[in-house]
Structure 1
Amino acid sequence: MTPHSFRKALATFGVAAFILTGLGSAPAQADSKDLARALAAIAGIAIVGKLIHDRKKDKKRDHEVVTRRRPVDPIPIYRPHRPRRVDPTPVHPRPLPRRVDRRQLPQHCFRSFDTPQGRFHMFGRQCLKKNYAFVNRLPQHCVQRIRTYNGKRNGFDARCLRREGYSLARG
């Protein structure tokens, strides 16, 4: 039972008890003392009812939310003028370090050759000598000599170099 319904039930029982006690009185005649008592009881019940009503009204007022039809303008905040910071020199990306750059092989040295055994991908030795500064540091076990329909070719096997950490320079 909620507190609200409990109060209603209590008020109903109180009024019923008051009425039943008034009906049970034996004499039909009422003297002035009985009349005064009845009026005092009615006035007491009215006062208690008014107190309960006022308390409920106060609780409702506590839960009211103030709403406005138009928003209140915010208080202006003073901010001093600061000129924008401008970098005097433009920023350029740094080049790759030599240890990383040395693992990038030139793209135009990558060739595909047709052989009697099938297609073979490799980096040409002469092209690498002209365009790559670290040819002497390439793994020697990746050196290949293949026979093509146009003669023999010397170079480095592309798969072997990729396994060793080398990659194709794009761009």
Structure 2
Amino acid sequence: MYRKFIATVTAASIALTTLGALPAVAGDRQTVNAVAALLGLAVVGKIIHDRNDKKKQASHHQHKPVHREPAYKKPVHKKPVQRQPAYQPPRYDQPKPRPLPDRVSRKNLPQQCLRQVKTHRGHVRMFASRCLQRNYRFAHRLPSQCNYTFNTGRGERRGYEARCLRQHGYRLARG
């Protein structure tokens, strides 16, 4: 660290020792000038050395990068967080909710239309066609392959076989 300084001081001391070996002459102006020049060089060397040390210290010190916000920021629109409200008992002035109406399934056939008819094949359970048209809203949507026509003593009758309708997902309405 102080190599240059030590080298300068050593050079100055060697020079001074050689001058000391010369005979001393009172009032010798050259000797005084030489010593003054050497002291001046030593002072200038020390100033240069100190300046170099400061530069080294400054170069080793790294500045942290400065983070600056951009001049324009896009506005951020955040949706408000919806939290569930705490339980509140119903107020007395609020109307009570109505019960949902009973759903009527279109696959439930009316019970009063079920008949048991005697045919040449034996007894057949069937739904009378005219009764279904009067009491069942979706009679026009019943499968045509379940349509059954038979003769009785009172004429030709039409209806739908109960077994065939059950295979297609229809059932007898209870109640």
Q: Which has the higher helix share?
A: 1
TM-score, scaled to structure 1: 0.44
TM-score, scaled to structure 2: 0.43
Structure of larger gyration radius:
2
